[in-house]
Each structure stands twice: as C-alpha cells, then as structure tokens.
Structure 1
Amino acid sequence: MPAEIRKTLLHVEDTLIEGGKAAKTPLKMIAAVAVIKNPWAGQGFVEDLRPAIHDCAPGLGEKLTAMILEAAGGGDKVEGYGKSAIVGVNGEVEHASALIHTLRFGNHFREAVGAKSYLAFTNTRGPANAPLQIPLMDKNDGGRRSHYLTIQLSVADAPGPDEIVIALGASIGGRPHHRIGDRYQDLKELGHDADNPAAV
C-alpha cells in the first residue's frame, strides 16, 4: 500500500541580508515535507522492513521531488540538496531511516537534479513540533563548503506518535558571504592529495 499522506508542506526562504551585508545573489532554500502514517505502527518489532519500504518510498520520493522542482523552477536550478526524517515517539529511528535511506526514495531527487554526490541526511525521533533539520551539500561537489547549509523548520502538529515526517531540501546558491574556502585547500595545506585524501 502506498504511503498514507496526511498533509504536505512547502517551505521556501530567501536570504537577502546576511551579517548585516546585502547578498549579491540571494540564497533560496526549499523544503518539501510530507506527514505520513508510520507504515509499521502498531505491529511491534517488525523484522523485515522491505515490503513497506518498497510500497511507500518510491511514491514519496516522486512527490517530494516534484514539489522541489516546481518551487525551484527545474532541476538544473538546484545546487545543494539533502533529506531528513523524524519518526514519532511510538516508532523507531529505523523506521525514519528505512524510508529515506533507499535508492527507491533518493534516486528520484538525485536523477531529477543531475546530482553526483550523496544526499546529506538526518534521521531522528521526536514529538510534534520537533525541529526538522535538513543538511545540504553541493549536488556534485562534496568538498564545496559554500553549500554546507541546513534548512530548519518544524511542523506544529507532526509527527504524531504513529507518524513520520519525511522531507527533501534544496538550495539555489550557497551561503551569501562564504569565505572559509573549500576542503581541497585544507587537504593541500596538510600535504594530502585532494583526489586521494587518505594518501600523504
């Protein structure tokens, strides 16, 4: 059975001034959120989560990706991306993880925006109005620190005890006045090969 969605939310924020200084290019961050019934609610400890993952994750990934793309104006506009889930207090963190840590969920987003890097993530348990944090990173370059961002919001009435909040996040642009350099600069200064950080 597909996910039982109680409601969806779209969160869009534009940062125009940061640190008291106008942003040359405003940062837009977008979150697409779904509140669903936990498909394992009331079943006790479920050994095999895969059937419900296969039922629920693809539709959720498709729906939330479509919401992001509409708000962003297309997948090519998205620069940073990530995902998050909060399971209600009657569920397990494993339930939140199950629905977002599957290619059946994330690949909809990854392919739609033409990404190469992995989807940054958080998965937690909490009550209604628990903080939802969606970490972002550059969709193609995991060392591009300007796009290390976090979308923060909460849903006043979710997750209920037997619900899960599932979210995708995206950015158009990076931090307005980023000035800490990229990871590759540190690697070079520390004597590491940027293409093979483990080598000295």
Structure 2
Amino acid sequence: MHFEVRKVVTSIEEIRIEGGKSTSTPIKMVGVAYVIKNPWAGQGFVENLRPEITSGCSELGKEMVAAMLSHFPNGGAIEAYGKAAVVGLNGEIEHASGIIHTLRFGNHYRDAVNAKSFLSFTNKRGPAGTSIQIPMMHKDDAGFRSHYITLEMHIEDAPAADEIIIVLGGSDGGRAHPRIGNRYIDMEEIATEKTAHQTQA
C-alpha cells in the first residue's frame, strides 16, 4: 500500500540574529510536511492498524528523508531532528501516532543522519490551518539543551477532515546563543548539593 500524498509543503527558517546578537553562521531549520489521505478514514473504529502501517510507513519515511536531505549538504550536517503528525477532525490521534511511531518510518531518518537519540515528537488532531509544532533535539545526545528547539509551521488547507499531515524537522544547529548548560551540569550540581546536605546533617 502506498499512502496517497496530496501535497508536500516545506518550511525553511534561517536564523541570523537572536537577542540582538548576530549568529556566527546562519542556523537553518527545515520542516518537510506530507499531506496524506488518512488510510483509516470513513471506516469507523479500526481495531488493527498494523496492515497499513507495515505496508506504507517505510516507503513514506524513505521519501520524506530524501526530501529533507535535499536541503542540507549531507545527513551529517543535520544536528537536531524531530517529527510531528496532525490528524484531521474525522480521524483519531492514534492514526497520526500509528504512522510516525514505528521504526519502519523513523529508522530511515535516524540511519540517514547517524543518530543515537530518539526522535522528539508531537501528535495531535486539528482543523485545516492548525499550528504544527516540530520539537527537535540533538541527534546524538538528548541531554544537550542547546539543541532543544521548535520549528512552527501551518498549512492553510490541511489537514482536511480525512487527512493526516506527517512532518520531519531538521536543523544544522541549536539555539543561536545557548547559555543554560546541559542536563549533566544540573545532575552534577544536584549531586554536589545532596552531598553537602548529607555532610551538614
């Protein structure tokens, strides 16, 4: 089974100034969205979603990753990544989740960028023109807060009630001027504070 793709929409942001300070190099964030027909639309409650997932998700993931990589020199240039799905009002959130939360879909992206961390995500239901948030994090280490970023986009005529928007996000950098440290700093500080408290007790 091939998912029926009505349109492909790409959103590109290039960050050059943040907080009044220029970036050393522009930071590019890309969102590639495929608007597909919901394969379970009009069937009522479908207990088993696996046939459509197993037959269509791998091909969709492969095609979307190729589209994403066309905006970067190579997979190694992508530092942060994520995914999102929005199902139309006549669909279930489970329909959106069923497509993006499968290794058949996500592994194409992980392998293409040689990633170690999982793909951060959002999935929701909404009308045409609804806001789409694509959360991203560092592809190698989920603890690098510098790469906790979100690309936001919308498509005026999607999703229709019987459609699903499937999105991949990628960035060649993190936030422009990260200054809050990573989660490992917190862990060290908390451990030190705990030790100091136990010593004082």
Give TM-score scaled by structure 2 length.
0.94
Mapped partners of 1:33, 1:64: distance in 2: 8
Query: How large is the RMSD of aligned CA atoms in angstroms?
Result: 0.8
Amino acid at match of 1:93: I
Which residues of 2 match residues 53-72 of structure 1 at below 5 A? Answer: 53-72=53-72
Q: Secondary structure at the match of 2:10?
A: strand
Amino acid at match of 1:170: G
Q: Which digits, 9 at most, give the CA deviation of each residue in 1:124-165, with x for residues without a partner?
A: 000000111100000001100110000100000000000000
Contact 1:82 1:119 in 2 (8 A): yes
Q: Secondary structure at the match of 1:191?
A: helix
What runs of 5+ residues in structure 1 fail to find an aligned partner? Answer: 193-200
* Greater helix content: 2
State the match for 1:187 in structure 2: 187
User: Would you say how many aligned residue pairs link Structure 1 and Structure 2?
Assistant: 192
State the match for 1:135 in structure 2: 135
Contact 1:145 1:181 in 2 (8 A): yes
Q: Are 1:161 and 2:161 matched, yes or no?
A: yes
State the match for 2:113 in structure 1: 113
State the match for 1:30 in structure 2: 30
State the match for 2:85 in structure 1: 85
What runs of 5+ residues in structure 2 fail to find an aligned partner? Answer: 193-201
Shift of the alpha carbon at 1:60?
Answer: 1.3
Shift of the alpha carbon at 1:55?
Answer: 2.0
Mapped partners of 2:73, 2:51: distance in 1: 34
Q: Secondary structure at the match of 1:99?
A: helix
Runs of 4+ off more than 3 Å: none
Larger Rg: 2
Identity of aligned residues (%): 55
Q: Secondary structure at the match of 1:57?
A: helix
Shift of the alpha carbon at 1:25?
Answer: 2.4
Mapped partners of 1:89, 1:73: distance in 2: 38
Q: Secondary structure at the match of 2:70?
A: helix
Mapped partners of 1:73, 1:34: distance in 2: 22
Mapped partners of 1:25, 1:147: distance in 2: 16
Q: Which digits, 9 at most, give the CA deviation of each residue in 1:17-41, with x for residues without a partner?
A: 1111111122110111100000000
Shift of the alpha carbon at 1:187?
Answer: 0.4
Q: Secondary structure at the match of 1:71?
A: coil
Give TM-score scaled by structure 1 length.
0.94
**Which one is further off, 6-15 or 97-106?**
6-15
State the match for 1:3 in structure 2: 3
Q: Secondary structure at the match of 1:108?
A: helix
Shift of the alpha carbon at 1:85?
Answer: 0.1
State the match for 1:40 in structure 2: 40
**Which one is further off, 21-30 or 154-163?**
21-30
State the match for 2:196 in structure 1: none
Amino acid at match of 1:70: S
Q: Which digits, 9 at most, give the CA deviation of each residue in 1:96-146, with x for residues without a partner?
A: 000000000000000000000000000000000011110000000110011
Mapped partners of 1:98, 1:171: distance in 2: 25
Contact 1:85 1:123 in 2 (8 A): yes
State the match for 1:196 in structure 2: none
